Chains A and B, each alone.
Chain A
Amino acid sequence: MIKIKILFNGPVRQLNGWKNVANIELPDGATGYDLCDYFKIVPGKTRLYGFLIRDGKKIKEEEELHDGETIKVNGKTSGG
């Protein structure tokens, strides 16, 4: 198992019960999709969800996650 720290940026924290931080465990070889599954996020469907950020860079959901990483969940901003 790998341990991942998740930070929810802004309004998207609704997907984590309004909390900004979550510490979760995922199986070895888990990807961003597994992270999304954990929070019942369906990319492209779930309201508010936008994309993932790792080490100051947007990553695709198919990318593998690693033990000890911090992943940020970012929302979509549609208004103006």
Chain B
Amino acid sequence: MAVGRYHRQEIFYPIGSEGQKKLQQGRVCIIGIGALGASVANMLAQAGVGYLRLIDRDIVELTNLQRQALFTEADVEQQLPKAEAAREHIAQMNSEIEIEAVIADVNPYNVEKFITDVDIVVDGLDNLETRYLLNEACDKHKIRYVYGGVVGSGGMMMNILPGETPCLECLLGPLPEEGSYDTCDTVGVISPITNIVASYEAAETMKLLLDSESVCRQAISMDAWDSYTEFFDVDKDPECPVCGKHQYTRLEHRQKNYTASLCGHDAYQITPEDDGTFDYDAVVTALEGEGEVKRNRFFTTFKNDEADLKLFPDGRAIINSVPSGDEAQKIFAKYIDR
């Protein structure tokens, strides 16, 4: 008798055939499809989680291939967005599940719509600012959030279960000032730690989907180079502005044109408020008379003596080679938001 795709998982006692059905009904949103997110997506797809929403704002670059599973040199050459490249590769591995690729920057305007129709949100982000925003959104909507982060050879993971466990701000304290903490762009990162943290994230996501008693309620700190793993407790802080007082200042802080520095890229990203009036085709047509324009199915690049930018259909733009957010805003106003 032929055995099915998930046979080895179904004979694993804590899952079984009933658990497998639950996994296939599970809906998971992974935010950030880099080293962590791509590995988590791969493992959850292999496990047969029924619906995966993959969200990322970036394009696959050569420096990603050292640690980011799923991506290939062909993806780099084609300048594929990470979310779409991951969707295409995963679909070849498991055609039985639904995968939605979302090419977007997660910000106060859109974070809630991405997370409110899923069971679990998994963290694959590359910065703390968006993590703190996501922490607020998940607390507000009582969505379970699997936090994971890496830098250098170290990593951390914690399940954040609103109403039950401490939140990200209880663990890490107030958001540090921008530039006051190291990132993978400043001190590097190695592939083994991203795979270790991603593996914990994937396993915890599966356990949460199954309502398993084995769900981890401690934080985990790991280092692949120093060879240690430590489980530790974190107290829920009653004075925590997020899970203690339910104040969502980042979620409510909405600028007209949301500007973010892209760490290590000498670039700024500007996301306009989505008021339904942005006309991508009209903007690209206007750009064609003012410089070199290249358009593919995912974005348009524009270059002249003054500006070097990438424009996406949702109105988001990445302004390259500018010294400040103000300069990026000026270019955005002149060429996009006229």
Contact = CB atoms under 8 A, between A and B. Distances in A.
Contacts of B230: 9, 53, 56, 72
Interface string B90-106: 00000000000000000
A75 interface: yes
B216 to A, nearest CB: 14
Given A79-B126, A80-B35, A11 B149 contact: no
B149 A10 contact: no
Interface string A19-34: 0100000000000000
A52 to B, nearest CB: 10
B221 interface: yes
**7 nearest A-B pairs in the assembled complex, by CB-CB distance:** A10-B154, A77-B149, A79-B184, A11-B152, A10-B223, A80-B36, A57-B233
A22 to B, nearest CB: 15
Interface string B166-191: 00000111101100111111010100
Interface residues of B, number: 49
Interface of B: 32, 34-37, 123-128, 131, 148-156, 171-174, 176-177, 180-185, 187, 189, 194, 219, 221-223, 225-226, 228, 230-235
A11 B222 CA distance: 11
A40 interface: no
Contacts of A51: 171-173
Interface residues of A, number: 26
Interface of A: 9-13, 20, 43-48, 50-51, 53, 56-58, 72, 74-80
Contact of A45 (B152, B177, B232): B177
A50 B172 contact: yes
A75 to B, nearest CB: 6
Contacts of B228: 9
B176 A76 contact: yes
A80 B173 contact: no
Given A51-B173, A77-B150, A79-B35, 5 more contacts: A58-B233, A74-B156, A77-B156, A78-B128, A79-B151
Residue of A20, A44, A46, A58 with most partner-chain B CB within 10 A:
A58
A49 B243 CA distance: 23
Contacts of B234: 57-58
9 contacts: A44-B177, A56-B230, A58-B171, A77-B154, A79-B126, A80-B124, A80-B148, A80-B184, A80-B194
A56 B234 CA distance: 9
Nearest to B218: A56
Nearest to B187: A11
B152 A76 contact: no
A79 B149 contact: yes
A21 to B, nearest CB: 11
Contacts of B36: 80
A46 B176 CA distance: 9
Contacts of B149: 76-80
B232 A53 contact: yes
B151 A77 contact: yes
Contacts of B148: 80
Nearest to B225: A10
Contacts of A74: 156, 221
